[in-house]
Structure 1
Amino acid sequence: MYKVLIVDDNDNNRLTLNLLLEEVEDIEVYEAEDGQLAVEMCVKNHFDLIFMDIMMPNMDGFEATKFIKQVNKKSMIIALSALDDDASKHKMLSLGAEDYLTKPLNSEHFLQRIRQYLRIIELRNQKIHKYPQALNPFNAHVYHRTMTFRVDDESALAEFWDYWLNSEKNIINLSDCVRLIYGFGLWLLKHEYECSLVVEENEEKLYMMLVHVKPLGSNIIKNILLKHFANAKYILSNDMLTFQLDKEVKRDNGVVEVSDEAKKILSKTHDNVLSAVDYINNTAISFISKIDGLEMINDETDKAILVFEKEPTKRNLAVIYENFQEYADILEELMDFEHLGFAVQTLIDFLGTLTEEQFDPEKSKRLAAMLLNLLHDLASWRENVFITQVARDIHYLDSSLLSSCIQIEAIFEEKSLSLDHDDDIEFF
């Protein structure tokens, strides 16, 4: 029997959660009207799962979470808030909460998560042996230590979750990364595939690697990341998915200092829109001449795509992706568009692997059409951001361009999982 504590000063909110939890077996539900009472209850009793409101009298959810984690680190705390606020979410997760849900709750989604949380609690005391490997493709300069979770049952995933989210790690976006890896791993186990989770790190970065992901299909992985972890820095190559995460650096006075690179990545949110005019005013003039040169490249690529459509050969395709390389090189230099640059570079690398045996008439026609759309989107991006500067947000086309790159690859991929059935993975 699991003990569940609902902490909320609103009677209706507590009642709503109680009604939802009636669908869950083997739990005892307790209530606290504010954070101070919740802390006092946790000192006397252990609670497996705690639902924590944030804004409460006497003691808010932030302080209560901090004290409860000092009393019992094993208590799983789920923050609840009416505000979808990144700052509050980050603060709660850094204090030890393992998830952050916004109200109103979707009952089906909520119950699905709760059952997974209870399963993690059930498994978290089980141990496995670790078999270290060195796999990180981002950076060879890492510590000698390597942590490996050999995932042959759910207890390994639970231990992985527990290790990374049940104590303060000071790693940016850790919760989003762990939750997605857990989902991918659970799908692989469900379909009787074994996988490994390998972690390496250095002073500034952490690298998480999920090995043996091929059964998922790269198109599925990329679409889920695009929807749920859009700012992820990752490499998907062959049979391995690798995430690069930034560490927070704490000064001696306890103040968190984030690296310049991390600041640039974290600044790319919908709450921090950057207009084209402001962006150009703060961009080196030397870049503008390079952007101007893309107009000629754009025209040449347009013609090359039409040539490929009529005569789909490896040579004609090479002209196309060599021209796209001009875009990728410039995007790589523009830090504000590094994720977009990575997507274009990944597409170029993929096009380079295609053989003429794959160029059947239907696929070649679809490829040409989608490459033209991508090219026109890039031309629009260049025009609206750098020439007319009318874009109110310089990232207004990012999602569209990223999705286009993914869908182009999907033309030639044999997917083991349909895009229409990816809910099995997205249980979080």
Structure 2
Amino acid sequence: MNLCKIQCWRRHIQGRGGWAIAAGVGGRGFNSKMASSTSSSSKGERKAIHKKLSVLIVENEDIAQTAYILCLQKCGAETLGVRNGAVAVKIHDITQMRFDLILMSSTMPIMDGIEATKKLRSMGITTMIVGMPTQSDNEEYRKEFMEAGLDKCYEQPLTMETFQSLIEKVSNKV
């Protein structure tokens, strides 16, 4: 998906009450067409091109979302950030985009992480979904969040070590 398509898609989502940030490594837009397994170099050698992992970040706090995007880009991932669960569900439903990892905040406007996770799972999405509850979320809420269909759960703020560990786990599955 090129930057022009993202801008059009972003306007489409914004027109429906949502909001999205698209970002990619080196200032490129989010690319849903990932690299193939090999390519030829100028010397005729064949070298492997690793597929960049795609990560959807569902977080309504701008500063946290931007920090997560930058950390994941340092880990070599392509990222797309959205502000609520409803937009995350629409992305999967309308655009048919798929991600290698979804980071889901717990408390968001319009649709929270629990409802969004349940909807994504009911749509047949098998992507690893990692919940990001806040420090103020009580134990009962965290349990309900996990039962909604999370694969893992880490309290915010996430660290660079957490991102590296997640990228490594997802890379081994892809």
Specify if TM > 0.5. Answer: yes
Where does structure 2 lack aligned partners over 5 or more consecutive residues? 1-51
* Separation in structure 2 between the aligned mates of residue 117 and residue 92 of structure 1, nearest angstrom: 21
Aligned residues: 120
Quick check: 1:8–1:56 contact (8 Å CA) kept in 2?
yes
* Separation in structure 1 between the aligned mates of residue 138 and residue 169 of structure 2, nearest angstrom: 23
Give the aligned partner of residue 155 of structure 2.
102
Quick check: 1:5–1:51 contact (8 Å CA) kept in 2?
yes
CA deviations on 1:20-53 (whole Å, 9 max, x unpaired) are 112212x321111111111000122112210101
Alignment of 1:32-47 (within 5 A): 32-43=82-93, 44-47=96-99
* Separation in structure 2 between the aligned mates of residue 106 and residue 4 of structure 1, nearest angstrom: 16
* Separation in structure 2 between the aligned mates of residue 5 and residue 86 of structure 1, nearest angstrom: 25
* Separation in structure 2 between the aligned mates of residue 104 and residue 32 of structure 1, nearest angstrom: 17
Residue identity matched to 2:87 = L
Aligned with residue 131 of structure 2, among 79, 82, 85? 79
CA deviations on 1:376-404 (whole Å, 9 max, x unpaired) are xxxxxxxxxxxxxxxxxxxxxxxxxxxxx
Give yes or no for the alignment of 1:51 onto 2:125. no
Give the aligned partner of residue 24 of structure 1.
75
Alignment of 1:209-224 (within 5 A): none
CA deviations on 1:205-254 (whole Å, 9 max, x unpaired) are xxxxxxxxxxxxxxxxxxxxxxxxxxxxxxxxxxxxxxxxxxxxxxxxxx
Quick check: 2:59–2:84 contact (8 Å CA) kept in 1?
yes
Quick check: 1:46–1:72 contact (8 Å CA) kept in 2?
no
CA deviations on 1:306-348 (whole Å, 9 max, x unpaired) are xxxxxxxxxxxxxxxxxxxxxxxxxxxxxxxxxxxxxxxxxxx
1:114 to 1:41, Cα distance in 2 relative to 1, 3 A: same
Quick check: 2:75–2:164 contact (8 Å CA) kept in 1?
no
Where relative contact order (Cα < 8 A, 6+ residues apart) is larger, the structure is 2
1:70 to 1:120, Cα distance in 2 relative to 1, 3 A: farther
Residue identity matched to 1:80 = M
* Separation in structure 2 between the aligned mates of residue 22 and residue 3 of structure 1, nearest angstrom: 10
Quick check: 1:79–1:100 contact (8 Å CA) kept in 2?
yes
Alignment of 1:244-283 (within 5 A): none
Quick check: 1:35–1:64 contact (8 Å CA) kept in 2?
yes
Q: State the TM-score, normalized to the length of structure 2.
A: 0.63
CA offset at residue 111 of structure 1? Answer: 2.7
1:73 to 1:46, Cα distance in 2 relative to 1, 3 A: same
Residue identity matched to 2:146 = L
Q: State the TM-score, normalized to the length of structure 1.
A: 0.27
Which of structure 1's runs of 4+ aligned residues deviate more than 4 A?
A: none
Give yes or no for the alignment of 1:7 onto 2:55. no
Give yes or no for the alignment of 1:93 onto 2:143. no
Give the aligned partner of residue 61 of structure 1.
113
Alignment of 1:230-379 (within 5 A): none
Determine what percentage of the aligned residue pairs are the same residue. 28
Query: RMSD of aligned C-alpha atoms?
Result: 1.6
Give 1 or 2 for the bigger CA radius of gyration: 1
Quick check: 1:48–1:74 contact (8 Å CA) kept in 2?
no
1:15 to 1:40, Cα distance in 2 relative to 1, 3 A: same
Give the aligned partner of residue 418 of structure 1.
none
Q: Secondary structure at the match of 1:102?
A: coil
CA deviations on 1:1-22 (whole Å, 9 max, x unpaired) are 3221010111111101011112
CA offset at residue 120 of structure 1? Answer: 4.1
1:117 to 1:85, Cα distance in 2 relative to 1, 3 A: farther
CA offset at residue 78 of structure 1? Answer: 0.5
Residue identity matched to 1:99 = K
* Separation in structure 1 between the aligned mates of residue 121 and residue 84 of structure 2, nearest angstrom: 16
* Separation in structure 2 between the aligned mates of residue 33 and residue 68 of structure 1, nearest angstrom: 16
Alignment of 1:178-193 (within 5 A): none
Q: Secondary structure at the match of 2:154?
A: strand
Q: Secondary structure at the match of 2:75?
A: coil
* Separation in structure 2 between the aligned mates of residue 58 and residue 105 of structure 1, nearest angstrom: 23
1:33 to 1:116, Cα distance in 2 relative to 1, 3 A: same
Where does structure 1 lack aligned partners over 5 or more consecutive residues? 123-428
* Separation in structure 1 between the aligned mates of residue 159 and residue 78 of structure 2, nearest angstrom: 22
Give the aligned partner of residue 166 of structure 2.
114
Quick check: 1:48–1:121 contact (8 Å CA) kept in 2?
no
